[in-house]
């Protein structure tokens, strides 16, 4: 008999092998808000196929969307049923937050007010604060204990996560994260293309800061496996201009480039990154590697406490830890501070908006 760990890895290609493992796991409830949207539509099938929580983890999907999208959401529910996915043990499609959050173990919050032409970041915050205030209340009242919450791409993603934390005080800050894994994956992709190696052979790039154009993609600690062994990327790419200018700019602007090319947002890569984020958080990432994740700052690397900031993290058994002791040069420090300043400004905007609402 093969070890269970090997069987479970093989099971991602051959699901029938799961019958050889121990007793099947009990289903967990996974909420996806904004499930009728492009990213939601892409991610629900990925979750139901085990790409987020593993090929042996049954799930009950709770899908939430606004009332005017009820018919579309029901269509998504119909397609999930028609797909006859073995891991899918139930589907709830609703516009009622209490029903959507009831008993959920994992919450993937994609929905939010989209940025429209002419909107400033302050306008976007004003639109999204009430949405996440309401969801924070539902989360605190109805979700399962120790629910893990992940905020997706609805901007400003980091500050939306902060709103959840502020208005769901009973939820530990460590249980709320936001997505910078898409930016992290984009950084790995750019390095792999530059070196002509497979993306799986590149590791430990970092995205510091905010999910915005002020983020800082950092290749200074990344390594790549070549035919001559694993070496630092800065040695393999002896081009400081590319590392500090072109690489940074391409990753920062990649979302806009995708929209320009396909006339729609990067929903497939975002959904895939979301699965990567949650899978590593819950199941752990490989030893010796780290990933980028927006987490509640504890002051590491001089980043102000009390903001959600992207750091390099390692994950084990549902817990994340910020990688400590990395050298940060003056160039990196200046970029990191710019992103921290932007997040600090956004935090002030949130408090200003909430204060004005209370005064009315």
The residues carrying an active-site annotation are: 211
Buried b (16+ CB within 10 A) or exposed e, 65-86: beeebeebbeebbeebeeeebe
- Tell me, rounded to whole angstroms, the distance of Cα 285 from its chain centroid: 14
Burial class (CB in 10 A: 0-12, 13-18, 19+), 333: middle
* Short-list 234, 242, 236, CA closest to 329: 234
What is the CB neighbour count within 10 angstroms for residue 353?
A: 18
Please name the residues in contact with 200: beta carbons below 8 A apart, sequence gap of 6 or more: none
Residue 339 near residue 215 (C-beta atoms within 8 A): yes
Rg of the chain (C-alpha set) = 20
Q: Which of 213, 187, 174, 200 is nearest to 292 (CA)?
A: 187
Helices (H), the chain: 4-11, 38-48, 70-82, 97-101, 121-142, 157-167, 181-195, 233-236, 240-241, 247-252, 254-262, 267-283, 330-359
Give the Cα separation of 313 and 297 in Å (integer): 12
Cis amide linkage into residue 316, ω under 30° from 0: no
Round to whole Å and give the CA distance between 308 and 336.
13
Question: CA–CA separation, 180 vs 68, rounded Å?
Answer: 30
List the structure tokens of 188: 């790995």
Burial class (CB in 10 A: 0-12, 13-18, 19+), 121: middle
Separation of alpha carbons 36 and 192, rounded Å: 33
């Amino acid at each position: 008999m093969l070890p269970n760990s090997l069987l479970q890895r093989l099971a991602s290609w051959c699901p029938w092998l799961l019958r050889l493992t121990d007793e099947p796991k009990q289903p967990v409830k996974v909420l996806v808000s904004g499930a009728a949207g492009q990213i939601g539509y892409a991610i629900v099938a990925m979750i139901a196929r085990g790409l987020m929580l593993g090929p042996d983890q049954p799930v009950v999907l709770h899908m939430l969307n606004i009332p005017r999208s009820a018919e579309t959401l029901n269509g998504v529910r119909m397609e999930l049923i028609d797909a006859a996915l073995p891991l899918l043990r139930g589907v709830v499609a609703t516009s009622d937050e209490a029903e959507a959050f009831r008993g959920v173990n994992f919450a993937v919050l994609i929905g939010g007010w989209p940025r429209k032409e002419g909107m400033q970041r302050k306008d976007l915050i004003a639109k999204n604060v009430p949405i996440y205030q309401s969801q924070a209340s539902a989360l605190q009242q109805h979700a399962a204990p120790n629910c893990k919450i992940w905020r997706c791409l609805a901007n400003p993603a980091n500050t939306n996560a902060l709103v959840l934390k502020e208005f769901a005080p009973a939820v530990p800050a460590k249980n709320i994260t936001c997505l910078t894994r898409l930016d992290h994956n984009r950084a790995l992709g750019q390095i792999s293309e530059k070196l002509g190696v497979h993306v799986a052979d590149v590791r430990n790039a970092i995205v510091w800061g905010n999910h915005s154009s002020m983020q800082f993609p950092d290749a200074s600690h990344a390594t790549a496996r070549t035919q001559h062994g694993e070496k630092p990327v800065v040695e393999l790419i002896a081009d400081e201009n590319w590392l500090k200018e072109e690489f940074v700019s391409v990753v920062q602007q990649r979302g806009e480039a995708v929209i320009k090319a396909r006339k729609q947002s990067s929903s497939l890569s975002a959904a895939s990154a979301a699965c990567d984020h949650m899978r590593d958080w819950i199941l752990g990432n490989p030893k010796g590697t780290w990933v980028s994740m927006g987490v509640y700052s504890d002051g590491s690397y001089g980043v102000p406490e009390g903001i959600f900031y992207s750091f390099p993290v390692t994950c084990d058994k549902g817990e994340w830890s910020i990688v400590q002791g990395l050298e940060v040069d003056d160039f990196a420090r200046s970029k990191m501070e710019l992103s921290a300043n932007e997040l600090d400004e956004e935090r002030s905007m949130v408090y200003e908006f909430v204060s004005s609402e209370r005064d009315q």
